[in-house]
Amino acid sequence: MYPVMLEVRGRSCLVVGGGGVALRKVDGLRAEGAEVTVVAPEPMPALAELAVAGQIRLERRPYRDGDVAGRRLVFAATGDREVNRRVFRDAEAAGIWANVADDPELCSFHLPARVQRGALQLAVASGGEAPFVTRRLRQLLERRFGAEWSEWIEAAGRFRAEVRRRKLPIAEEERRYDTFFAETVDPGRLTARVPTSGEEESYLAGASYGVELAAPAAAEDRHWTAAAPGPAAGLVSLVGAGPGDPGLLTLRGRQRCLEADAIVYDRLAATALPLDLPSRVELHGVGKQASRHPVPQEEINALLVRLARAGKCVVRLKGGDPFVFGRGGEEAEALVQAGVPFEVVPAVTAGIAAPAYAGIPVTHRREAVRVTIVTAHESIKSEGAQVRWDLLAADPHATIVGYMGVTSLSGVVEKLLAAGLDPATPAAMIERGTTSAQRVVRAAVSELPGAAGRAGLEPPALFVIGPTVAHAAELDWFQRRPLVGERILLTAPPGAWAAKLERAGAEPVPVALPVSAAARVVMDALPITGCLLRSPDDVDSLDEERDNPSWSSAARTWCLGADTAGRARARGWPAIHELPADADPAALVRAIAARVRRTPPPATPGGSGGRGAA
């Protein structure tokens, strides 16, 4: 096999077949700009919808000899080997490359397993000899190459253009490329980061090489400066995604996402991306997480300005509320400096919502009449800390909510106890609050650091300290629902299935077919614990999505009917549970609940609760 990358943009390609496998081929071709014709007597609804939208040409009929004429690529995916053989034979006779799904003997080319991060593509192939290997290698690469590689490859492209503009000798160009790569890529961890503008300038300067460089780019070319917005300037919406539960995204936030030309999102905001986001919307994952910012803040600011100056409507989607420990104020100031119009769309902040999902009211008449929201990092500052821990410790009628508190919890508790806080004050640590991955540990404040450590709680998490935490033993409504902790993938339209799952405590993830880039980001945000397959076409359409990093090896497969279950078994889906073809949503909920073990919430402080809590 000779590996190549084909340019199919604007070229005519044929897909014969109307099921889930055909849909996957169509989706891949459309993503690369091909002109796609589908021939199928009974196409699945998703293909019909693409045809109505004018995105493909659909001919509702059986394949006819000669249909391959004038095509650049031909795919056969009918499920009938004789028809597939005819398609391949015609394509071979016409000198056209052809691929027959799941039949290596009837292929003049094979499709590699791909991992795509923006313009960066990694392909794995075995020449058809061992497809199980390529799938597993793809799964490995999907997990190792994070979303930051998309922004990194864009930064690399801009860096190359600037190096080429300076007209350096080839050897000096290569040295600068070596520097860029060495400084931004960790070869051991296979992680990347976007360099700051200042770092890029240092890479370009190459002073140690002793080279006389051409004049650097003008400041306005590489950076942004204060200026009045021109007629083509777009709008940046600083949108709060809420605390994690996708249902807590505000109506205006959702509207702005659906109207956007580009969305710049943080890792913790990924769960709130609308699953029906139009395919035209650019997605820029800037990957911020605890102690690791692969895209520096100043480069995020520059990205927002660059996109807006291109005339685009931009959504900056941030976890929680943009102006509550979200650096939204800093981003707004950068936009003002650059002369870019912006708006703020507030949201539910995790400091209020996460305690509510843990059964903790942050205020309660006669118990807590004040709420103080702090960043726990202030506890580790030796000089100039802005939090008066002594005043907080002396207030028995207040609730303290601390963000970014996992690594700083011990320091916070030490300062509060030293200032006189009662060691028996109720307290809790909440990990991934409001989501299917929520875990909660409750204990007396003096014991909370040890309890949280034993439970293995990790960021993102916040702590709550105050008398109202004691109400969680009675008010923990979220943890008592039968399917809490379950995250179930199903195809759209979800109808009553999603509503029934959600009311039982599960998080439904209804994805439209073909699966969009936004849906893949949402799937990747948290572990998928199960999948509802309602037809054999669902099996074929979602089969490759099991390579997604979030797909748990313990995920259950719920199939409606013997045909669907049979197709899932043939394709190697795990943990298949067959339900009657006419099963209703209530039957699914009962079936899942019967197979899910749940740890009951703690009745008194000092225990721990939540899915997987120790």
pLDDT digits (tens, 9 = 90+) for 142-154: 888 988 899 999 9
Task: Write the pLDDT tens digit of every residue in 398-449.
Answer: 999 999 889 899 999 999 999 999 999 999 999 999 999 999 999 999 999 9
Mean pLDDT lowest among 204-213, 255-264, 315-324: 204-213
> What average pLDDT score do residues 591-612 get?
58
Confidence (pLDDT) at 75: 97
Max mean pLDDT among 130-134, 276-280, 353-357 falls in 353-357
- By the 10 Å C-beta count (0-12 exposed, 13-18 middle, 19+ buried), 182 is classed as exposed
Cα torsion 266, 272, 278, 284 to 10°: value is 0
**Across-strand partners of 343?**
237
- Is pLDDT of 462 > 60? yes
- Is pLDDT of 207 > 80? no
- Is pLDDT of 379 > 60? no
- Is pLDDT of 332 > 80? yes
Confidence (pLDDT) at 383: 62
Q: Is the CB of residue 610 less than 8 Å from the CB of residue 357?
A: no
Confidence (pLDDT) at 128: 66
Confidence (pLDDT) at 292: 58
> What average pLDDT score do residues 184-207 get?
89
What percentage of the chain exceeds 90 in pLDDT? 77
554's enclosing H/E stretch is strand 551-560
Q: Is the CB of residue 605 less than 8 Å from the CB of residue 444?
A: yes
User: What are the start-end ranges of the E strands in 46-135?
Assistant: 57-59, 73-76, 97-100, 113-117, 120-124
Nearest to 357 by CA among 507, 220, 236, 140: 507
Confidence (pLDDT) at 242: 96
Cis bond upstream, residue 460 (ω within 30): yes
- Is pLDDT of 352 > 50? yes
- Is pLDDT of 223 > 60? no
Q: Which residues contact 122 (CB under 8 A, 6 or more apart)?
A: 114, 115, 116, 141, 145
Catalytic one of 90, 245, 261, 288: 288
Classify 105 as helix, strand or coil. helix
* pTM, entire model: 0.87
More confident residue, 133 or 83: 83
Distances (CA, A) of 536 to 504, 529, 543, 592: 26, 20, 11, 21
* Residue 41 burial (CB count, 10 A): 11
* Per-residue pLDDT band at 2 (split at 50, 70, 90): confident
Catalytic one of 266, 321, 524, 547: 266
Residue 590 half-sphere exposure, CB side, CA atoms within 13 Å?
A: 6
Vertex 118: Cα angle to 115 and 120 (nearest 5): 60
- Is pLDDT of 257 > 50? yes
First to last CA, the chain: 51
Alpha-carbon Rg of the chain, whole angstroms?
A: 27
* Per-residue pLDDT band at 595 (split at 50, 70, 90): confident
- Is pLDDT of 293 > 70? no
To the query of whether residue 266 is one of the catalytic residues in this protein, the response is yes
Confidence (pLDDT) at 437: 95
Nearest to 266 by CA among 151, 153, 154: 151
To the query of whether residue 167 is one of the catalytic residues in this protein, the response is no
Mean pLDDT lowest among 182-191, 330-339, 556-565: 182-191
DSSP state of 261: S
> What average pLDDT score do residues 589-598 get?
84
Task: Write the pLDDT tens digit of every residue in 511-528.
Answer: 999 999 999 999 999 999
> What average pLDDT score do residues 21-50 get?
96
